[in-house]
Amino acid sequence: MGAGIGGLAATLSLRAAGHEVTLVEQARRFTEIGAGIQLAPNATRVLRRLGLLDTVAARAAHPSRLSFRTWSDGTEICGYVLGPEVEDEFGAPYLQVHRADLHQALAARVPPRSVRLDTQVVGIDQDDRAAYVTTAGGERLGADLVVAADGVRSAARQWLFGADEAVFSGTAAYRALLPAAAVADLDLPEYAGWLGPGRHVVHYWVRAGQLLNLVAVFTTEAEAKSESARESWTARAEPGEQLREFAGWDRRLLTALERAGQVFRYGINTRTPLARWNVGRVTLLGDSAHAMVPFQAQGAAQAIMDAAVLGDCLADTAPAEIPDALTRYVRRRLATATRVQAGSASAGDAYHLPDGPEAEARNARMVAYGHENRFGPHATAWRDDVPEE
């Protein structure tokens, strides 16, 4: 269920493990949607296993350095190493891609006969021998197992575990893609995070440097069910809204936000950590299991890791053994995903500290960490290779 990045990666991993897979997706067709996405070495190692790394890397940007800066004048706080040093240390590169390019690369490897588009799932049930999904058209499709990769608003999660809604994080973001020519005169770092009171901005290149992906995050007291809290790839900001929200920030950022042709606004939602993701022959994967704020750039990477471990656990597995295999999958992934969820939330809190002693102490910690680990604190997740039991 679900043909996003997690669902497609799971399909490929399960096929590599020798299983026939039917991918069910309610959209009528695959479309180019979304913006930038970051792929740390834990994700790119899996892409290599799937035979897709070269394809994705050819359309990606390969950042050499991450620069953290102050919000008002761009003074650098600290910098962390990326580039070839990351591949030497972690065995795989750090890439920045357009989400549609990654999605297309994954989808192109799934045989068309294995995909059912325009098929909405309205229920899941199971017995001792099989799991079933019921479609809006009245079909009941059976299989040895069901993997629910249906995103942060997962219906499958509620079917499995009862009433459980997505949680608005209290943050929202503006996002835009700008052609390189539109920002060529701004002297922007290739990859930077700008930190300020209640807000931060991240920008980096995608499509081999053709487009600048810019994300401007802000805290908000909007109600959870308000338009500002809605998680949407297509909701447009009001004209000039982003400039008012970031008034007083470094002129380069404001100029980039002003020049952006289309600015989209989305609320950032998460899910409460679960004690388990699986029931019998059904399991969650990706955002349906562990949606997180994007402040460690690990959301997609963790879904890709889920897919890889799921494939490993189901290799050479007889139908009767599937429930136990799904339990092994969850046991191998849940603690790490939950830890990354918490770390991402903590990073956001640190990014948004008010000017003064707290921000100064944060900056000092970031500098000290760079002296201890040249790749920065987020690299603690990058060694999360496909683990063995």
Helix (H, G, I), strand (E, B) or coil at 274: coil
- Answer whether 194's CB lies under 8 Å from 70's CB: yes
Residue 55, both tokens: 């394809």
Helix (H, G, I), strand (E, B) or coil at 165: coil
- Answer whether 216's CB lies under 8 Å from 257's CB: yes
**Close Cβ partners of 128 (under 8 Å, ≥ 6 residues apart):** none
Residue among 296, 297, 65, 72 at smallest CA distance from 192: 65
**376 vs 80, 278, 360, CA distance in Å?**
6, 34, 18
Residue among 217, 255, 196 at smallest CA distance from 77: 196
What type of residue sits at position 384? Answer: D
Q: Which residues make beta-bridge pairs with 269?
A: 168
- Answer whether 270's CB lies under 8 Å from 167's CB: yes
**Tokens 């980096």 sit at which residue?**
204
Question: Annotated catalytic, 204?
Answer: yes
CA–CA gap between residue 305 and residue 43 (Å, rounded) = 6
Angle between helices 5-16 and 99-108 in degrees, nearest 10: 30
Helix (H, G, I), strand (E, B) or coil at 340: helix
CA–CA gap between residue 92 and residue 69 (Å, rounded) = 27
- Catalytic annotation, pick one of 94, 174, 191, 204: 204
Q: Which residues are catalytic?
A: 204
